[in-house]
């Protein structure tokens, strides 16, 4: 199967984040920005082959453009995973070569794969053969003491030769033992120049930069150097951050949404998920920070956190919580 879908616009994206970028969060994010590319949580090839694809891969049509992130290091398993994912029509399939967690290392994939560019190239080739959507790679700038520019250069050069034309670079190295995943997102210093240099040395590939980016001035500055910016924690911890995205990054000047309208639309979504048998807490946890920084935000949040975990909770508590926000 060769790539037939056109690549999504990657000028701005929300990063893959386990337990955070669930389909519920993505629905909320899409209510705030029409164009920002949204990544799933990582799904391992192993989980997909042995689990329930519908549960792991189904999403709501309005989430487009949406990219699936896979984890794995076995080309044939990843090929099968892409085959299983094909009917779900993701706009992109991304391979995780950046995650340092123990669980991931034990499965021998994630950031440790940076040391095996030929294997990553094989994975990408096998995935591309089984995907109509473009296959991309998310990586770090290095691992442990393999942190010279030449190491990253060789990795990109080898994987590019297998047909990968878009790389997301989390601009800090991963330290594979001794640091927790959280520390690995905070302690190794950010070196944005490494990603810029890759773009200069490989002008024909798309480079998306990631790591520590928290406002649109920074986004604009990075877009002078690279093709796209990926935002992780800021887009989750402060979802309203995405409000400016369409106008600033995608030149779409449609009227900006109001927070209360987004909240009401999300309440309707939570209601529909509830009617399909999903406890409201799963969707409500993502909306806790929607009103961050405005009057009533604490009471809104408190009302939800005190009520959403009850067994008999109803989705209507979101509209009740909204009463705490002054008109």
Ligand X SMILES: Cc1cc2nc3c(=O)[nH]c(=O)nc-3n(C[C@H](O)[C@H](O)[C@H](O)COP(=O)(O)O)c2cc1C
Total residues at interface with ligand X (CB under 6 A): 22
- Cβ count near 106 (within 10 Å): 10
231 in contact with ligand X (CB under 6 A)? yes
Q: Which is nearer to ligand X, 185 or 197 (CB)?
A: 185
Q: Which parts of 140-159 interact with ligand X (CB under 6 A)?
A: none
Nearest-angstrom CA–CA distance, 269 and 206: 35
Q: Are 141 and 172 in contact (CB under 8 A)?
A: yes
- Tell me how far, at minimum, the Cβ of 268 lies from ligand X, in Å: 27
Q: Quick one: which segment of 10-18, 72-80, 266-274, 277-285 binds ligand X (CB under 6 A)?
A: 10-18
99 in contact with ligand X (CB under 6 A)? yes
Q: Which parts of 179-208 interact with ligand X (CB under 6 A)?
A: 185
41 in contact with ligand X (CB under 6 A)? yes
Q: Would you state the structure tokens that stand for residue 10, as one six-digit string? A: 């990657």
For tokens 């909240």, the residue is 263
DSSP 190: P
Tell which one of 16, 100, 117, 134 touches ligand X (CB under 6 A): 16
Burial of 128 (0-12, 13-18, 19+ CB in 10 A): buried
Tell which one of 8, 228, 232, 315 touches ligand X (CB under 6 A): 232
170 in contact with ligand X (CB under 6 A)? yes
72 in contact with ligand X (CB under 6 A)? no
If you write DSSP's letter for every residue of 60-117 in order, what string do you get? -GGG-SEEEEEE-S-HHHHHHHHHHHGGG--SEEEEEE----HHHHHTT-SGGGGG-H
Q: Are 210 and 170 in contact (CB under 8 A)?
A: yes
Tell which one of 3, 7, 9, 20 touches ligand X (CB under 6 A): 20
- Tell me how far, at minimum, the Cβ of 159 lies from ligand X, in Å: 15
Q: Would you state the structure tokens that stand for residue 282, as one six-digit string? A: 């799963």
List, by residue number, the catalytic residues: 99
Burial of 152 (0-12, 13-18, 19+ CB in 10 A): buried
String of contacts with ligand X for each residue 265-304, x by CB under 6 A: ----------------------------------------
96 in contact with ligand X (CB under 6 A)? yes
Residue 242 exposure: Cα atoms within 13 Å on the Cβ side: 32
31 in contact with ligand X (CB under 6 A)? no
Tell which one of 213, 219, 308, 317 touches ligand X (CB under 6 A): 213
Report the interface residues with ligand X, using CB under 6 A: 15-18, 20, 41-42, 69, 96, 98-99, 138, 170, 185, 210-213, 231-234
């Amino acid at each position: 199967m060769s790539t037939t879908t056109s690549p999504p616009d990657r000028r701005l994206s929300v990063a893959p984040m386990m337990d955070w970028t669930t389909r519920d969060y993505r629905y909320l994010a899409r209510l705030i920005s029409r164009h920002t590319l949204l990544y799933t949580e990582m799904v391992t090839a192993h989980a997909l082959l042995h689990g329930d694809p519908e549960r792991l891969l189904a999403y709501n049509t309005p989430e487009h453009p949406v990219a699936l992130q896979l984890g794995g290091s076995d080309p044939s398993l990843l090929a099968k995973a892409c085959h299983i994912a094909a009917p779900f029509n993701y706009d992109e399939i991304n391979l995780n070569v950046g995650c340092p967690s123990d669980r991931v290392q034990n499965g021998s994939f994630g950031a440790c794969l940076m040391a095996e560019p030929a294997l990553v190239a094989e994975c990408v080739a096998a995935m591309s053969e089984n995907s109509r959507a473009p296959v991309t790679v998310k990586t770090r700038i290095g691992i442990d003491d393999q942190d010279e520019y030449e190491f990253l250069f060789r990795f990109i050069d080898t994987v590019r030769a297998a047909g990968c034309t878009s790389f997301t670079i989390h601009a800090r190295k991963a330290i594979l033992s001794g640091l927790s995943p959280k520390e690995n997102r905070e302690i190794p210093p950010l070196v944005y120049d490494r990603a810029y240099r890759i773009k200069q040395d490989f002008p024909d590939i798309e480079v998306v930069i990631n790591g520590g980016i928290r406002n649109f001035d920074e986004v604009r500055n990075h877009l002078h150097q690279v093709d796209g910016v990926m935002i992780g924690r800021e887009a989750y911890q402060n979802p309203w951050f995405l409000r400016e995205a369409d106008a600033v990054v995608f030149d779409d000047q449609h009227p900006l949404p109001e927070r209360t309208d987004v909240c009401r639309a999300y309440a309707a979504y939570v209601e529909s998920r509830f009617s399909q048998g999903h406890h409201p807490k799963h969707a409500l946890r993502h909306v806790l920070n929607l009103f961050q920084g405005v009057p009533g935000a604490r009471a809104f949040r408190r009302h939800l956190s005190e009520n959403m975990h009850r067994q008999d909770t109803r989705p209507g508590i979101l509209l009740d919580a909204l009463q705490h926000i002054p008109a």
